[in-house]
Structure 1
Amino acid sequence: MKTLSINELNNKATAPVRTKIIVKLRYFTIFPNIFETYFKLYILDYLIKFCAENEMKTILRSNFLNPVNHDKCDFLCDYCLTIDEQGKIASLEPYSEKLTGNNDRIVDLSNSVITPGFIDLHSHLPQYSAIGIGKGALLPWLSNYIIPLESKFSNEQFAHEQSVAFFNEALSFGTTTIVTYCSIHRHATSIAFETASDIGIRAFIGNSLIDLPNEAGYFSSLETIKSDIDFLVNKHHLTNSEKLQYIVTPRYAGSCTKELMSYSANFAKSNDLFIQTHLAENKSELELMKKLHPEFDNYTGIYDKTGLLTDKTLLAHCIYLDQTELAMIQNARSIVCHCPTSNRYLSSGIMPLVDYQKMGLRIGLGTDVAAGYSLSMLNEAKEAIETSKSYDISKDENGNDISAANAFYLSTKGAAENLNIADKVGTIHIGLDADLAIFDLDIKQLSANSEDILRSLIYKKFNQSAKAVLIAGKRVYGSL
């Protein structure tokens, strides 16, 4: 019969089980040699079974909003959710006294609403402290305010402080997965990964790849970039139980040579990595592309010809695109990151969200801090709804405003599908990781209509912190 050492037992048992086994072992101290060296497998199985049967479960009794598709969200009133020891959702069913055992701990959250953790598809960690600072159009704003700030990330202490603040604030608003740009600096990006791991958030993180010389000196050589990418992928990709991923990040075609864009595309393909960049955010940006890359027919064509347009590419903004460009994006199945707050703050324009959805484009929402002035995805959902109304007004049309269910889906399940993590997060279903955001919201005076509940949540809580946030069943923010 197979025997196990104390170390093997420690690795096999979960933390609660280990604690109870250690307690029981104190009764066997009269046999130190036997129990220090060997454990019969049947004894181990008995102890683990004993501990599991006596383990206290935590059950969340609350109201749940669960996204289904662009048009539908399920509202589950007075349900109970149980999380297993792996941090996965073990059960979700209507409340009943029969659900609970003598040892179970029920957390009464009946005056709260629980949603899947939000997923932010586009943001900039190094710009966090510039929220609300500066004005003007995109390109001058970048030159006057943002590039000088990002340059400070060569200081590792500054990079650490900003990373802590950025991820903690994202968590406070219920964001459990975030896709973010970092500065051009290898060590600052590494610090961002380490900070995200310590805090527990899921993140797709990439150093900004810039090799076109600029007046600020904020760029790197192609050889340095290659070395930095190799280092960061080898050290951080798929770490912390695969919660962290490296994402290839050519800043935009206005800061990259064709050689860098092609290399980025090939590297991402060879290593099965996501790509993120910017596209057609501002009219002046379009003119810049014509000067820098005159051999291409249009802006999107630059990415298409250099291999960056893939089904794992996130394209931020996408405001000014013609039908040819939209067809390229649709054929490649690239993901459009809609950033309505940022688009308005810099007076960039309005992305025709509903038109793009009717085309079948893959779309998600991004806060785009710091042009976006909040890391709250509820705020971004609100802005998506309100901007769709503004688009209607500008076109003297009706029917292009989106529902709360649509905005909610883009912030949760839809985003998870775009990032290929819908088998883990994005909805509240048995077997998925318990990534949850809990908000205080008295629903007694509201109808049981999910759209009304969603609107109340979005418009009342868009600038407020969550009560608590869980990632893989572990509380990472707030209290229960």
Structure 2
Amino acid sequence: MTTTTYLRGSILHFLRDPGAPADPEAWEYWEDGCLKIIDGHIGAVGPADETLKTRAAQDALHDHRGKLILPGFIDTHVHYAQVDVIASYGRQLLDWLNDYTFPAERAFADPDHARRIASLFLDTLLRHGTTTAAVYPTVHKQSVDAFFEEAQRRRLRMICGKVLMDRNSPDYLRDDVHDAEADCRELIQRWHGKDRLGYALTPRFAPTSSREQLAMAGRLYAETGVWMQTHLAENADEIRWVKELFPEARSYLDVYDRFRLLGPRSVFAHCIHLDTEDRARFVASNSAMSFCPTSNLFIGSGFFDLEAARSLGVRVGLATDVGGGTSYSMLQTLAEAYKVLMTHGQRLNAWRGLWLATLGGAECLSLDDTIGNFAIGKEADCVVLDLAATPVLDRRMQVATALEERLFALMMLGDDRTVAATYVLGERRI
């Protein structure tokens, strides 16, 4: 039996990167708009008075007039196993891993713990309006099963995959090449392409995987058509360490390139310290970058150069990178992104910012044929934002004179309090 639902409110979505300065043909906006959702997919979008003409008496109508409806936010890099270490004091990357991350991840050997944290994590994302993410679990196979079970129960589109580490990490978090490959194959068979779930090969970063393990990951990537996610060029000490471990490689990116880990479904987090040749390889391989501003600031890693990437056509998505990142909110993450880019003399307008958090994220994850905007036939994930959720935001909206001004204020002042509702496949979850 077909289920049809209508969502009414101010509707904004993007057709492509608006750029800077912004191209007004890159988005569509209806002050009084309506989404028609048929069996979890977009059936129509446009002015409310026109779209509602097709509504039958039995069709549900959710009236969000006065609020803004956007496609669900997309977080392109986040660690569900680091829920308990968010806001831990005073470490740079390598110390952060040893002092906070690795001890916290040890607990995920317990399937019950993994399930509890996965449930908390996913509900937290929904409360922040995030409906899709590329997620890191731990080295434990059960941490992947727990995550996918909870994501499937919520009907979410999620990417995840067992972390690979066979050296330079605690014994209790190491695997080996043979067992890691067997685990990945089993998990791919069980989860990849099931409902809205996708598997990602997940070497933590080059220093914690041997050449043999990276080669194994490259073989699986070529063979299976899954995603690949890892970290790249985040921290100066990390880069020096990579050079010591892989002296034959031209650069940190070249390490992954040598093991055939670049490609259309490869997503590299951070990408701060890159040179011209590295960026050219991103273009040639059609690999993608995740911009992690709150994490880069909090751990003191450096500043991402958005214009250097986008001017070449590199796909870029936004990421919270919790627990190094300090908020699950994509709006707060955008506020920090704006500040990071200002240090480069770059300006992040509201149009491009909200594109990064929606369609840009979908493009980064090679999911833009499925999610990211309200094109007909796409999956109907969306977030409803209250632009008067706090007294400060409410007052700012009262004096704003244009839509762009209101959206920029939302980007700078918004947080989870602005999330009035989150819909997954047309069903309200928050």
Q: Calculate the TM-score normalised by the size of structure 2.
A: 0.91
1:457 to 379, 395, 410: 410
Alpha-carbon distance change, 77 to 212 in structure 1, aligned in 2, over 3 angstroms: same
CA distance in 1, matches of 2:28, 2:410: 14
Identify which of 191, 196, 207 aligns with 1:254. Answer: 207
What is the rounded CA distance, in whole Å, between the counterparts of 1:380 and 1:354 in structure 2?
18
After superposition, give the CA deviation of every residue in 1:450-470 in whole Å (9 maximum; x if it has no partner).
Answer: 422321332332242521111
Structure 1 stretches lacking a partner, 5+ long: 1-13, 17-56, 393-399
Partner residue, 2:62: 107
Give distance in 1, aligned partners of 2:257 and 2:125: 32
Q: Shift of the alpha carbon at 1:102?
A: 4.4
Q: Report the Cα distance in structure 2 between the residues aligned to 1:472 and 1:446, rounded to whole angstroms.
A: 35
Query: Which residue matches 1:64?
Result: 11
Q: Which of 401, 413, 420 pairs up with 2:359? A: 413
Establish whether residue 75 from structure 1 lines up as the match of residue 29 from structure 2. Answer: yes
1:430 maps to a residue whose letter is: I
Q: For 1:56-97, what per-residue CA distance to the aligned partner results, in whole angstroms no more than 9, with x for missing partners? A: x5322210111233224332111122211x111222232227
Deviation at 1:354, TM superposition (A): 1.6
Corresponding residue of 1:40? none
How many angstroms apart in 2 are the aligned matches of 1:449 and 1:405? 13
How far apart in 1 are the matches of 2:247 and 2:365? 33
- Please report how far the alpha carbon of residue 425 of structure 1 lies from its aligned counterpart in structure 2 after TM superposition: 1.1
Q: Distance in 2 between matches of 1:290 and 1:58?
A: 55
Separation (CA, whole Å) in 2 of partners of 1:142 and 1:304: 24
CA distance in 1, matches of 2:374, 2:63: 18
Asked if 2 retains the 8 angstrom alpha-carbon contact of 1:66 and 1:116, the reply is yes
Q: Is the 8 A contact 1:446 1:453 kept in 2?
A: no
2:60 pairs with 1:124: no
Letter in 1 for 2:84: S
Q: Which residue number corresponds to residue 428 of structure 1? A: 374
- 1:57-456 maps to which residues of 2 (within 5 A)? 57-71=4-18, 72-84=26-38, 86-96=39-49, 98=53, 100-240=55-195, 243-392=196-345, 400-442=346-388, 445=398, 449-456=402-409
> Displacement, 1:429?
2.4
* Cα displacement string for residues 82-126 of structure 1 (whole angstroms, at most 9, x for unaligned residues): 211x11122223222745554454332112110000111101110
Q: Secondary structure at the match of 1:239?
A: coil
Residues 228-247 of structure 1 show CA distances to partners (whole Å, capped at 9, x for unaligned) of 1011111111112xx10111
| 1:219-268 per-position Cα deviation (integer Å, ceiling 9, x unaligned) | 1111110111011111111112xx10111111111101111111101101
CA RMSD of aligned residues (A): 1.9
Aligned residues: 414
Superposed CA deviations along residues 395-452 of structure 1, whole A, max 9, x for unmatched, are xxxxx11211112111111221232322221001222221110112259746684422
What SS does structure 2 have at the residue aligned with 1:300?
A: helix
Report if the CA contact (8 A) 1:354-1:402 is conserved.
no
**Per-residue Cα deviation, 1:35-63 (whole angstroms, up to 9, x for no partner):** xxxxxxxxxxxxxxxxxxxxxx5322210
Q: What secondary structure sits across from 1:294 in the alignment?
A: coil
Given residue 193 of structure 1, which amino acid in structure 2 is its aligned partner? F
Secondary structure, counterpart of 1:467 in structure 2:
strand
- SS in structure 2 of the partner of residue 75 of structure 1: strand
CA deviation after TM superposition for structure 1 residue 316, in Å:
0.5
Counterpart code for 1:462 = D
Q: Structure 2, unaligned stretches of length 5 or more?
A: 19-25, 389-393
Whether the aligned pair in 1 keeps the contact of 2:127 and 2:416 (CA below 8 Å) is no
Deviations 1:124-147 (A, max 9, x none): 110011110132210001101110
Identity among equivalent positions (%) equals 31
* Per-residue deviation, 1:15: 7.5
Q: Displacement, 1:216? A: 4.8
Against the structure 1 CA distance between its residues 191 and 337, is the aligned structure 2 distance closer, same or farther, given a 3 Å change threshold?
same
TM-score by length of 1: 0.82
1:41 is matched with none
Q: Which secondary structure does the structure 2 equivalent of 1:363 belong to?
A: strand
2:206 maps to a residue whose letter is: A
Distance 1:135 1:465 in 2: 30
Letter in 1 for 2:151: A
Q: In structure 2, how many angstroms separate the alpha carbons of the residues matched to 1:151 and 1:426? A: 35
Counterparts of residues 39-54 of structure 1 (less than 5 Å): none
Native 8 Å contact 2:293 2:303 kept in 1: yes
Retained in 1: the 8 A contact 2:315–2:363? no
Instruction: Give the distance between the partners of 1:58 and 1:360, measured in 2 at CA.
Output: 37
AA aligned opposite 1:59 = Y
